[in-house]
Structure 1
Amino acid sequence: MSRAATAAAVAALLAFTVLPVYWMVTSAFDPRADARGANLLPSGFTLDHFRFVLDEGGFGRFLLNSALVGAGTVLLAGVLSLLAAVAVARFTFRFRTAVLVMVLVVQMVPLEALVIPLFVQMRNLDMLNSLLGLTVVYLAFSLPFAIWMLRGFVAAVPREVEEAAYLDGCTWLRMFRSVLLPLVAPGLVATSVFSFIVAWNEFVFAFTFLQDESRFTAAVGLHRFFGQHTNDWGAVMAGSTLITLPVLVFFVLVQRRLSSGLAAGAVKG
């Protein structure tokens, strides 16, 4: 393939990837977003859509709910997946292989197939319309991937390093905190990004489980700007931009450790 053809292919791929983001951001600031049509350039600049979304639309509360659910999912998934990864990588117990296979099987089940069973289970546990219940659901979806990935990192740490820490007088907890945790930190960052994205972007379960508007997450709150006959495209694009910003900031903050974590996981897993 010639350089010109390669450049054209790369340009087309970039345009296909970047154009939706460009359209979303520019429409959020376009005072005539509803009548923009196919114009690539916005008609002007305004912050009215953001003011409407945050003030009248109550989107600040939705963003806070998503942040609480996302933070809870990341923290719980990080702690539980790391402890589970240590258990399956370091300890020998009955049905260990079966546990690993079941974790992998759960990862393969389509999420849509679990909506009704989880709804019934959350209803029986009296956890519907609750951010805690939604966090537990997202935690269940995040754990299989997190356990599989962190297992590779834990298994790659030589046992001799842990034994040397014991010889120096460390307890298991001190060895875990001072020796094992720093070595698997890149993998923990990678799994945290995955857990955060799952909790922040998910719509189906949040829309099904939450009935009280004050508990809506950002993805469900965005749905309020879609009408039966007309859509407020300025508000929709402004809300979409606000939803995108936290994920983008979080990714920029951890991208260095994320890159090293994914590369190390690919080699060590």
Structure 2
Amino acid sequence: MKTKNTNYIALAILFLTLFLHSKEINAQESIAYKNESQVTIFPILWQQMSAEYRALCYQAFNLASLRLNEISKKEIKKGNLAIITDLDETILDNSYVGAQLIKENKQMTDEEWNRWTAVSKTTAVPGAVAFLQEASKKGFTIFYVSNRDTTAVKSTLIDLKNLQLPNADASHCLFKSNTSSKEIRRTTIAKDYKIVMLLGDNLNDFKNTFEKKSIADRFTATDIEQEQWGKKFIVLPNATYGEWANALYDYTHKTDEEKEKIRRELLKGY
């Protein structure tokens, strides 16, 4: 009888152990999935708190200035030389909205983004204002080609004017209307201007050959343009969001759990 009871106790302990272990695994997984909105906390802290981020921004704009200096005064006097620049994380720092969403444990949505842009409280990426002002004084026309919605032009212009950026008017702000691709807008500018430089934090800011491509294809396209980086194409750092992140998920909607799984599978160890 004691042996039988002992067996029952042993089985009960075994089942309890397995149950608790299962609960622990599920709890760990739920924490990982639940905290999907926290994934960007380190990139945002890096953007806001690291001197390294500031140094990279200054480095990009210093290099851009050197490239403009290589263009002859004779060519500048002919006029119609344009610089195309993205806005978000290239000229305007939007890390504040990401930080606020983390504090409130919210996900980024169009509504949250629009609420942020409407308040016109952004600051400039380090080095951006001085570079664009310098370029304007030298005779270059600045075009702001952004995937902000066209309804955000008015509030964005408040930011541009507050930061004393050149060409801060609606005619120089080409925002998204029908498509997120910037190729048509670049082509429109190229009809009347010679585009001497493009600035952005996303490879889609430079050419349409990067759009909706796999990770491997984006690498290949980047290698093909090797001679342009630091010359005609000036890249600003952004580890928080962009097409590089969308490429991880093959540009398709994924649940938080699926995203977490994909990120772990893509990691390259040794």
Q: More helix per residue: 1 or 2? A: 1
Higher relative contact order (CA 8 A, sep 6+): 1
TM-score of the alignment, normalized to the shorter chain, above 0.5: no
Q: Provide TM-score, normalisation by structure 2.
A: 0.21
Select the structure of larger CA radius of gyration: 2
Q: More strand per residue: 1 or 2? A: 2
